[in-house]
Amino acid sequence: MDFRQTHIEKTHKHTRPLISCRFGPQPDCVFFAAEDFQLWRWNISNNEKTAFNTDAWVRGFCFSRDGQRVITGGYDGRLIIWPATATAPQPIHVIDKAHEGWIRGVAISPDGSTLATVGNDHMVRLWNAADGTQIAELKGHVNDEKAIAHRSHVYNVAFHPDGKALVTGDLMGQLIEWRLADRQPVRAWTADSLSKYDKGFRAQIGGFRTLQFNSDGSRLFASGITAVTNAFAGIGNPSVVEFARQDNKQLVEYLSQPKLQGVAWGVALHPDDLIIGAHGGSNGNLMFWKAGEATAAHQFRLPQNGRDLDLHPDGLQLAVACSDGKLQICRMDKKTS
């Protein structure tokens, strides 16, 4: 792997702008959601494409641990469990009002038994991954103004690798750690640099485009936009913030170099202590940081805005969902003839 040699290896042109993407559990498959209200499974080898009719924009989706199911959380508030490999996929389970309004994030527990979803209704909900029945609603103590709870749109969710905790993050930049044993909030802290009230436009800009623990769970990575000077034009810089799990202390804020304008829409953590970000805003870029070093070690210009990112298990390929409807498969190595 040589991230400085990153290049586009393959491009799939879809008919509509893309929203999110993940490498599938099956070899050579990439799943992506688009503005056409569908999730798609694209086979890189034979270029076959299969639609999952979500009937909603989908930003958050994940796979069951056995790779047989894909779970989508739609902007229509529906949580749907699908057969991941079917040739003509039909929903296995549909939870119609999983959330009131958008589902923004979906995650599956390390043991594969539990799904967690978050959304615009300020709620965090847990579901049985097997049948989609609701297990719990994590809302904190909303009646007490000083108590820990989300009071704005919840943007993302990540299970801790030990399976005992969950972290959620909202529009106001607040992160909450929930203890799964009793489903209570344990602590809350704020990623100050990733949320701001723009007084000129009288609106809050922020929210976590990604939340991700490293493999041993000692670090939490959150991404979004920082140093916003004009919320409605998206004038700010992509940022990835690293927190220590132990004390929530912010360790590093990873920033672009040279400075880019826009949002870090996707983050991947490479096992070789490399943090990779996908940027969209004034244009699109992949950003590469060595762990602990705030300044980007390398940036690779994409043809268009990146909107999501995933790292292949081989540690070499990246899938990038782009605003021009293209799914870019990038390779972090030198080109081969």
Partner 1 sequence: MDARYACQSTAHQIARRGFLSLLGTGAASLAAGPSLLAGLQQQRRRMLVIFLSGGVSQLESWDPKPRTDTGGPFSAIPTAVPGMHISELLPKTAQHMNRLSLIRGINTNNGDHGKGKYQMTYGRNQMPGVENPHLGAVCARSLERSDNPLPGHIHIPGGGRGNNAAYLGPRYASTGVNGKPPANSQRLGNLTIEIDERRNAFRRRANERFLSQRRTAETDAYTQSFEQAQGLMEKRDAFDISQESAKDHARYGSHDFGQHCLTARRMLEHDVPYVQVSHTNYDTHNENFSFHLEQLAEFDAPFSCLLTDLSDRGMLESTLVVVMSEFGRTPRINARYGRDHWGKAWSICLGGAGIQPGAVIGATNTNGTEVVDREVDHGHLFHTYLSALGLDSSSSFNIGGREQPLADPAYGPIDELLI
From residue 55, give the alpha-carbon distance in Å to each of 30, 35, 64, 75, 334. 19, 10, 21, 9, 40
Q: Which is nearer to partner 1, 85 or 323 (CB)?
A: 323
Name residue, tokens 């490479």: 270
Q: What b/e string do you get for 68-78 counting C-beta neighbours within 10 Å, with b at 16 or more?
A: ebbbbbbbbbb
Q: What is the x/- site pattern for partner 1, positions 253-272, by CB under 8 A? A: ---------x----------
83-91, 174-182, 200-208, 215-223 -> range binding partner 1 (CB under 8 A)? 200-208
Give the number of other Cβ atoms within 10 Å of residue 122's Cβ: 20
166-185 residues near partner 1, rule: CB under 8 A: none
Binding residue (CB under 8 A) for partner 1 from 281, 286, 318, 327: 281
**CB–CB of 236/226 below 8 Å?**
yes
Instruction: Say how far apart CA 206 and CA 170 lie, in whole Å.
Output: 8
Residues 126 and 134: beta-carbon distance below 8 Å: yes
Q: Which stretch binds partner 1 (CB under 8 A): 106-114, 131-139, 160-168, 195-203?
A: 195-203
Q: Which stretch binds partner 1 (CB under 8 A): 184-192, 198-206, 241-249, 292-300?
A: 198-206
Nearer to partner 1, 29 or 56 (CB): 56
- Looking at beta carbons only, is 23 or 102 nearer to partner 1? 102
**Sole window of 132-140, 196-204, 211-219, 293-301 interacting with partner 1 (rule: CB under 8 A):** 196-204
| 232: three-class secondary structure by DSSP | helix
Q: Is 311 exposed, middle or buried (0-12, 13-18, 19+ CB in 10 A)?
A: buried
The binder of partner 1 chosen from 231, 274, 319, 327 (CB under 8 A) = 231
35 binding partner 1? (CB under 8 A): yes
One residue of 109, 122, 280, 286 binding partner 1 per CB under 8 A: 280
Query: Considering only residues 96, 200, 216, 336, which one is a binding residue for partner 1 as defined by CB under 8 A?
Result: 200
Contact between 53 and partner 1 (CB under 8 A)? no
Count the site residues for partner 1 by CB under 8 A: 30
The DSSP result for 158-199, as a single string, is EE-TTSSEEEEEETTSEEEEEETTTTEEEEEEE-GGGEEEET
Question: Residues 116, 104: contact at Cβ < 8 Å?
Answer: no
Residues 105-134 that bind partner 1 (CB under 8 A): 120
Query: Would you call the peptide bond into 258 cis, given omega within 30 degrees of 0 as the criterion?
Result: yes
Minimum CB distance to partner 1 smaller for 43 or for 323: 323
Q: Does 315 bind partner 1 (CB under 8 A)?
A: no
Binding site for partner 1 (CB under 8 A): 16-17, 35, 37, 56-57, 75-76, 101-102, 120, 153, 200-205, 207, 231-234, 262, 280-281, 304-305, 323-324
